[in-house]
Amino acid sequence: MLSQDLAAQFLRMYPLKDICWKDIQQCISSLGYEEAQTAQQHILSQTVLHPYAQQFPPTSSYKRLFLKTLISHIEEANVEVSEILYEEYMRLLSDSASPADGFCYRTYNVSSVELPTITLKETCSLISDGTTGMCTWEASHVLAKWCMEEKEKFHKKNVIELGAGLGLTGITVVHTCQPASYTFTDTHASVLKILTENIWNNQNANKPFANIITTPTPSDGWVEGSVFATKYGNTMVKVSRLDWADSMFNFDADVVLAADVVYDNEVTRHLVKLLKIIFSKIPTTDVYVASTLRNPDTYTFFKDLLASEDLHIKVEICRQYQDSPSQPQHSIAILHIVASTLP
Ligand SMILES: C[S@@+](CC[C@H](N)C(=O)[O-])C[C@H]1O[C@@H](n2cnc3c(N)ncnc32)[C@H](O)[C@@H]1O
């Protein structure tokens, strides 16, 4: 159980200070010599040498720091550190293969029974290449989980996501709710490219690792001016560029999803204008927008703008989200928005 949790934490690059090192220390120091050696090897195989970490690695610096911290806790417990931990640590120190482009992989929900395991290529910075879309935001975790609880709202429906970022919400919905179609949209070409890679990697994730390693990444993935389309399980998945400022909407949508798209009043104006266009085309559309409540003024501005455009908030759901004990707790609201003319 300990190593399962540790695998899940390691693969999503959980803050090292929030890992329960004391439990690991206690567990290892309660064992005899041989068992303690085996336990250390097992921890290594469930973290740095985990098959996911081989294929979709966290950053090299994270791997190094993880091993350094593990070794120091074992030493502190007066247990002999396994040679293979030292060897792996030395190998990582001399490993210069860290991706120069600042990308890493995070694999979410590895030990969860209720959530699907999803691997995403991401950056470690909140803003990269001029966009906030290169990392996964809290609201998308909350929206993904809520969608799973409300599967029937998405099953066999045509769903479109606005500002999809790297795809956590959408890939979760496709995996667990089996919509008829799911269209991921965003405005940034760099986001759409990585998003397409992420979709492809997760689509192929149930195949044996050996197969994935020998298969090239999608050379026919998203390219400027194109729509990437693939059959993902029972769902037709598309990746398409959609800029809210263009006020164009040529999609069939029963449901619209968006996570963490309310953070700037100018951007919010475009978003609400687009929602208005969507409702004018298909008045029965259900729109769900998940927002992290950072700035009350920004959120109130969004709600006031919806009201002024005659868009109705049918339900407001509030959830709390905390990534790990050292991270701040966030309040996240999911708004169900409908056209005011509907009951
Ligand atoms: C804070 S990120 C959220 C990404 C993702 N939904 C998540 O929660 O992880 C906001 C996203 O909205 C996209 N975005 C910002 N302005 C946009 C616009 N005018 N049209 C379309 N997408 C936009 C960004 O590229 C980015 O992916």
What's the CA-to-centroid distance between 92 and ligand 1, angstroms?
35
Pick the range with the lowest mean pLDDT from 14-28, 186-200, 201-215.
201-215
Q: Which two tokens mark 295?
A: 């700035």
Q: How many CB atoms lie within 10 A of CB 26?
A: 12
Comparing CA positions, the residue from 44, 17, 19, 36 lying closest to residue 75 is 36
| Average pLDDT along the chain | 89
At 147-181, the pLDDT tens digits run 999 999 999 999 999 999 999 999 999 999 999 99
Residue boundaries of the structural domains of the chain:
2-93, 129-339
Give me ligand 1 centre to Cα 166, in Å: 9
> Quick one: which atom of ligand 1 is closest to the CA of 138?
8
Kindly report the length of the chain.
343
pTM: 0.92
Q: Which CATH number applies to 129-339?
A: 3.40.50.150
Parallel, antiparallel or unpaired: strands 255-259 and 286-292: parallel
- Sort strands 255-259 and 235-241 into parallel, antiparallel or unpaired: unpaired
- Residue 206 amino acid letter: N
Cβ neighbours around 67 below 10 Å, total = 22
| Higher local confidence (pLDDT), 141 or 343 | 141
Task: Read off the pLDDT of residues 218-274 as tens digits, 9 standing for 90 and up.
Answer: 555 677 777 889 899 899 999 999 999 998 889 989 999 999 999 999 999 999 999
Q: How far is CA 99 from the centre of its chain?
A: 20
Q: What is the pLDDT of residue 224?
A: 76
- Answer whether 221's CB lies under 8 Å from 201's CB: no
> Which of 92, 118, 122, 117 lies closest to 105 in space, CA to CA?
122
How would you classify the pairing of strands 118-123 and 286-292?
Answer: unpaired
Distance 259 CA to ligand 1 centre (A): 8
pLDDT confidence of 197, banded at 50, 70, 90?
very high
Is the model more confident about 233 or about 300? 300
Which residues does a 6 A CB cutoff place in the pocket of ligand 1? 131-133, 136-137, 139-140, 163-165, 186-188, 191, 242-245, 259-261, 267, 270
pLDDT at 335 over 50: yes
Question: How many angstroms separate the CA atoms of 253 and 251, rounded?
Answer: 6
